[in-house]
Structure 1
Amino acid sequence: MRERVGGVGGILKTLFHIVDVEWSWIQTIQGKPDFQEDFSLHATLDKVRKLDAKFRLDVEPFVLAWHEGLEQKRFEDHLPDGRIVIDAWGELMRHVIAHQIHHIGQLSVWSREVGKPPVSANVIGKGLIEIEDRANSL
């Protein structure tokens, strides 16, 4: 809970932020309702983990169903000032990924500050992209 430089104030708040923002972007991309979670309702590691498990029910199927045809799908964001910003779904998904990696770096630094091993940013071998015959590729 200690306030830290960077992130959104501390380790737990940053973990909450990662979960909340990932879900929010996935909801928004799909045109589904989005809302801002209240950190005070999730101010323990167990509660953040439960929120992550709850949101994963929405996030995981979308990510696992991703295909090349979604890369250029049009996303229109209507800003409060009336402007419309148009992006591709692929660009937005890469933003979500960059957001995750950015915070992994912060968590790694904070882990070292408290004497723990750094958080790994390695995504190689995590099966993020399905290949037809992974066993034969080794």
Structure 2
Amino acid sequence: MKMFFHYNWMVREDWYRWCEGLTDEELLQRRTGGQGSILKTLFHIADVEWSWIRLLEGKDDFQEDFEGYNTLRKVRELDAKFRPEVESFIANWDGSMEHRILKSEGRDGTIDIDQWGEVMRHVIAHEIHHIGQLSIWAREMGKEPVSANLVGRGLAETK
């Protein structure tokens, strides 16, 4: 599981670099699916990752609006602010945490009960899902998307 978080962070950094070649208009252009734009989707990815980790840690959720982070620089700065806490949590993850219970209020006001391991895998899958959307948008723009290949990124643990 740790490998997939590292993979997602690498791919996210690749997307940030890819976005440096776009105009603000292209980053904010309204698109079908996802969060509606490339930049808002990148903001959403970082926000959701940090928010879920905060919930697992028993801390307050992030409640900022995208409008305060509507440039590539601001989204990258926010991600850099969030990343140390997320990295620390991931680095300290162990098997004893897998079946811990997270109780949270659902969107309909009911109480959701989830296992921490399930939440962690959701966070991983959530980002991979949105990276696929970014790839489609890149192709629609006539640009080569960032490689989604995990192989060759040097992430395998060696013993």
| Pair in the same fold by TM > 0.5 | yes
Larger relative contact order (Cα-Cα within 8 Å, sequence gap ≥ 6): 2
Q: Could you tell me the TM-score, scaled by structure 1's length?
A: 0.86
Higher helix share: 2
Contact 2:54 2:61 in 1 (8 A): yes
Q: Could you tell me the TM-score, scaled by structure 2's length?
A: 0.75
Distance 2:31 2:90 in 1: 31
Q: Which runs of 5+ in 2 are unaligned?
A: 1-27
Distance 2:128 2:111 in 1: 28
Distance 1:81 1:113 in 2: 36
CA RMSD for the aligned pairs?
Answer: 1.8
Offset at residue 91 of structure 1 (A):
0.2
Match of 1:97 among 108, 124, 127: 124
For residues 34-45 of structure 1, what are the structure 2 equivalents within 5 Å? 34-45=61-72
Per-residue CA distance 1:21-74 (angstroms, 9 max, x = gap): 111111011111113121111110011000000000211110111111111111
Partner of 1:56: 83
SS of residue in 1 equivalent to 2:62: coil
Partner of 1:68: 95
Q: Which runs of 5+ in 1 are unaligned?
A: 134-138
| Aligned-pair identity (%) | 58
SS of residue in 2 equivalent to 1:85: strand
User: Radius of gyration: which is bigger?
Assistant: 1
